[in-house]
Amino acid sequence: MKRLSLWLGRISLAVVLLSSHLYSADCQEDTLSGPAPIGLTDILTDYLPSNQISGGPVRKVTICDQASWERKRPSIMRRAQALLGEAPEVRGELDPRVLGEIRRKDYIERKVLFTSGTGDKINGYLLLPQAASPSLPAPAILAMHSTIEPGAKVTVGIEQVRENRDYGRELALRGYVVLAIDVISAGERIYPGAGAFETNQFDRKYPRWSAMGKMLYDHKRSVDYLCSLAEVDSSRIGVIGHSLGGYNAFFHQAFDPRVKAAVSSCGFVSMGSSMYPFRFARDEWFVHFPILRDYLRAGLVPCDMHEVMALCAPRPLFNHSARKDHIFPDFWAVDAPLRQVARLYRALGAQGRFERVFGDGDHDFPPDVRLKAYLWLDRWLMKN
């Protein structure tokens, strides 16, 4: 057994060494130190042929209104879908179950379970404020956790392993029905024998899908669950998240028209204009988009984060980014693309529906920013 372990260890080391030396020493190699490896895609520019037979010459079109945006929007949807990959066939009903219930001071906390439709279960916590009832349904929030263990338990305040992460609990205290689920590879959904946020087993099982595609699918399934509850007003659904939950939030709003308002904290960066584009296409640990790796090796990004965020327009979207964020240290890759999104909202006559907040701290969701985010959600989801 010891010999087998030693042999496997040597193989693992060889794989690591091979992956770090894919090419011979004779091939010139440089570490890029410019502003970005790949140029920033302009969401307000479209390129079309003047002649469909010859394929040219090329027309450069500036997106200036709703009609021109609607002509470009499907192209972004298709390219984003290519990154997310193909989901398997969906089977089965939600089959929701309540596994436990605790009466907190101002809300009921239920541990819930329902089927994903792709062969696994989705577990989470449902917070029902006292005022929510079938006769007086309340707005609902899907609260998405960050890359922190133990996942949803942190978001609803059951475990406080880090400050400023229990926004699900805080929103329940404001009168929202809140659902927080564990995403795959986190909390109670960590794969057997794997560590937290290791998606390799998922990638092997679904080679044509992606972890981000699965998370998006599970979050849409979660909205199905929320809409099935008599205590929820299904016309007033919002999402909120920090870090991992932050980009899950705007991805979800982009692909789910039921989401009326979204809050993303420290979850945004352009992949192409960042010096760290492979953070979303690693070979191991948390692999967001496996197919992206091949595009990046060709110096391309098929669809960037600000393009996905643009798909949320003109619905209300609040984005918080930190100027000293150690996760996304290249602030230019945050500020410039967000300015593009703001320009799109203005072109659509919806400038009041996109809020950019910049903090001076690190990768966090501090109290003052959370309060601004909650007031933003209240503005769009709470009835006066």
Domains recognised in the chain with CATH numbers: 97-381 (3.40.50.1820)
Query: Which string of DSSP letters, residue by residue, matches 194-256?
Result: --TT--HHHHHH-TTS-HHHHHHHHHHHHHHHHHT-TTEEEEEEEEEEETHHHHHHHHHHHH-
State the Cα–Cα distance between residues 47 and 206, nearest whole angstrom.
34
Distance CA 276, CA 329 (A): 9
Least confident window among 34-38, 241-245, 358-362, 367-371: 34-38
Q: Higher pLDDT residue, 246 or 119?
A: 246
193 has a pLDDT exceeding 50? yes
Percentage of the chain exceeding pLDDT 90: 83
Residue 126 host element (H or E): strand 121-129
Amino acid at the residue 28: Q
Among 127-131, 260-264, 272-276, name the one with the lowest average pLDDT. 272-276
pTM score, whole prediction: 0.91
Cβ neighbours around 244 below 10 Å, total: 24
Confirm if 209 and 87 have CB atoms less than 8 A apart.
Answer: yes
Q: How confident is the model at residue 15 (pLDDT cuts 50, 70, 90)?
A: very low
List, for residues 122-146, the tens digit of each pLDDT value.
999 999 999 999 999 999 999 999 9
